[in-house]
Structure 1
Amino acid sequence: MLQNAAQTYQNNQVTTASPAELTLMLYNGALKFIKQAKVCMEEKNVSQAHECCLKVQNILYELMSTLNNEYEISKELQKLYDYLLHRMIEANIQKDTDILNEVEGFFIEFRDTWKQAMILVKKQG
C-alpha cells in the first residue's frame, strides 16, 4: 500500500515537472545509482552493480537525447556525456569504483551548476 503511494507520488512528480526540473531529477538519479553501484561493488554484488551502472548509462542516453544542438553548449555537453558513458561502461566491466568516483564528480558539478542556473532563471523571470 505504502509502496503504491510512493510510486504514485513519484509518477506525479515526473509528469508535472518542468523540463528544467526533469534534468535536475536525471542528475540526482544518476548520483543515486552511482552511489548504489559503488556499495554493490564493495559488497561484491556484481549483478546489482551491473544494474545500477546500466541505469546511469540510460540516464546519460536520455540526457543526450534532450540536447538542442542549435546551441554550442549542447555540443560540448554531448562530448562530456559521451565521455561519461564510455567511463560508465568501463566502470561496469572492470567493477572499478575509482571510475565511478570520477563520473560522480562530473554529475555533482552538473547538478550544482544546473541548480544555480534554475535559481538565476527564477530570479530573472
Structure 2
Amino acid sequence: MSTNALKAYRQTRIKTASQGRLIVMLYDEGLKQLQSARDELNGTHPNLETVHNAIIKAQNIITELMVSLDFEKGGDIAGNLFNLYMFFNQTLSEANISKQTSGIVQVYDLMTELRDAWKSIEGTNDMLDKADVGGINLAG
C-alpha cells in the first residue's frame, strides 16, 4: 500500500470512529509508545533518543486524554482520571530522566487496565457518543 493511501486510510478511520473508539485508539497508541520505550531500554545498546521520543509521544497522548475530560458531565470520574493522567505524566517524566523502566512499566500496566475498561464499554454500547461516560469529550 502506498504511503498516501495508508495516510488516507488512517485519516478516514479516525474521522469515522465513535468517541469511544477514538479513546481506545489513543490508549492503543500510548501503549505502543511505552512498549517501544521499554523494549529499547531493555536492549543491549539502547538508543536514548528513541526512548526519549517514545516517552514524549506517550505523554502527548496522555495530555490529549487529559484535555478532553469534561468535568461538568464527568464529575468525580473526570477528576480522578485527571489526577491519574497527571500521575502518568509525572512518572514518565521521571522515567525519561532516569532511563529506568520501572516507571514505564507502572504506567503501561495502569493504562492497559484503563484501555481494557474503555474497550469493554465501547464494545457493549453503540450509543457511547451520546452517553456521559467518564466525562470525556473528544469533540473539542
* Runs of 4+ that moved beyond 4 A: none
- Where does the alignment leave 5 or more consecutive residues of structure 2 unmatched? 131-140
CA distance in 2, matches of 1:14, 1:119: 17
Structure 1-normalised TM-score?
Answer: 0.92
Aligned equivalent of 1:92, options 89, 96, 99: 96
Q: Name the counterpart of 2:135.
A: none
Q: Name the counterpart of 1:54.
A: 56
> Which residue type is aligned with residue 112 of structure 2?
I
Structure ranking higher in helix proportion: 1
* Residue aligned with 1:67, SS: coil
* Residue aligned with 2:125, SS: helix
CA distance in 2, matches of 1:73, 1:85: 18
- Where does the alignment leave 5 or more consecutive residues of structure 1 unmatched? none
> Which residue type is aligned with residue 14 of structure 2?
V
CA distance in 1, matches of 2:11, 2:41: 29
The 5 Å alignment of 1:1-125 reads 2-43=2-43, 44-70=46-72, 71-122=75-126
1:20 Cα offset (Å): 1.2
> Which residue type is aligned with residue 6 of structure 1?
L
> Which residue type is aligned with residue 68 of structure 1?
D
Query: How many residues matched?
Result: 125
Kindly report the root-mean-square deviation, in angstroms, between the aligned alpha carbons of the 2 structures: 1.8
Identity of aligned residues (%): 33
Question: What CA deviation, in whole Å up to 9, does each residue of 1:68-98 have, x standing for no partner?
Answer: 1122200000000000010111111111111
Question: What CA deviation, in whole Å up to 9, does each residue of 1:33-63 have, x standing for no partner?
Answer: 0011112222311001100000001001100
Of 72-81 and 3-12, the range deviating more from structure 2: 3-12
